[in-house]
A and B are shown apart, each in its own frame.
Chain A
Amino acid sequence: MNQTTNSQTPEQGQASDNNRMPKIKIRGLSKAFGNKVVLDGVDLDIFPGESVLVIGGSGSGKSVLLKCILGLLHPDAGSIEVDGEEVVGLMGEDLDRVRRKFGMLFQNAALFDSLPVWENVAFGLIQGQRKPRDEAHAIALEKLAAVGLGEDVGNLMPAELSGGMRKRVGLARAIATEPEIIFFDEPTTGLDPIMGDVIDRLIVKCVKQLGATALSITHDMASARRISDRTAMLYHGQIIWVGSTATIDESGNPYVDQFINGRAEGPIEMQVRAL
Chain B
Amino acid sequence: MPILQPIGRTFLFFLEATGRLSLFTLLSLSHCLRPPFYPRLILRQMIEIGYYSLPVVGLTAIFTGMVLALQSYTGFERFSAESAIPNVVVVSITRELGPVLAGLMVAGRVGASMAAEIGTMRVTEQIDALDTLATNPFKYLIAPRLIAGLTMLPILVLIADIIGVFGGYVVATQKLGFNPTTYLTNTLDFVEVQDVVSGLVKAAVFGFLVTLMGCYHGFNSRGGAQGVGAATTNAVVSASILILCFNYFITELFFAR
Contact = CB atoms under 8 A, between A and B. Distances in A.
Interface of A: 67, 70-72, 96, 99-100, 102-104, 106-108, 110-114, 123-124, 127-128, 173, 177
A99 B132 contact: yes
Interface string B90-130: 00000000000000000000000000010011001110111
B193 interface: no
B133 interface: yes
A107 B125 contact: yes
Contacts of A113: 120, 126
Nearest to A97: B134
B134 A106 contact: no
Interface string B129-154: 11111111000100000000000000
Please name the 4 residue pairs, one residue from A and one from B, whose CB atoms are nearest each other, closest first.
Answer: A110-B125, A128-B134, A110-B129, A96-B134
A72 B131 contact: yes
B49 to A, nearest CB: 15
Contact of B128 (A67, A100, A123): A67
B133 A110 contact: no
Contacts of B135: 123, 127-128
A110 B122 CA distance: 10
Nearest to A67: B128
User: Which of under 10, 10 to 19, 20 to 34, or 35 or more describes the interface residues of B?
Assistant: 10 to 19
Interface in B133-188: 133-136, 140
A121 to B, nearest CB: 11
B126 A99 contact: no
B133 A127 contact: yes
A110 B126 contact: yes
B132 A102 contact: yes
B117, B124, B125, B130: most-surrounded residue (chain A CB, <10 A): B125
A117 to B, nearest CB: 14
A106 B128 contact: yes
B125, B133, B135: most-surrounded residue (chain A CB, <10 A): B133
A108 B121 CA distance: 12
B134 A127 contact: yes
Contact of B129 (A71, A96, A104, A114): A104
Contact of B126 (A71, A72, A111, A127): A111
A271 B83 CA distance: 77
Nearest to A170: B129
Given A72-B128, A102-B132, A127-B134, 19 more contacts: A71-B131, A99-B131, A99-B132, A99-B133, A100-B134, A104-B132, A106-B128, A106-B129, A110-B126, A110-B128, A111-B126, A112-B129, A113-B120, A113-B126, A123-B133, A124-B133, A124-B134, A128-B133, A173-B133
Nearest to A106: B125
Nearest to A72: B128
Nearest to B133: A124
Given A99-B134, A127-B135, A128-B134, A108 B129 contact: no
Interface string B233-245: 0000000000000
A206 B131 CA distance: 22
A96 B131 CA distance: 8
18 contacts: A70-B132, A71-B131, A72-B131, A99-B131, A99-B133, A99-B134, A104-B132, A106-B125, A108-B124, A108-B125, A110-B125, A110-B128, A110-B129, A112-B130, A124-B133, A124-B134, A127-B133, A128-B133
Interface in B53-88: none
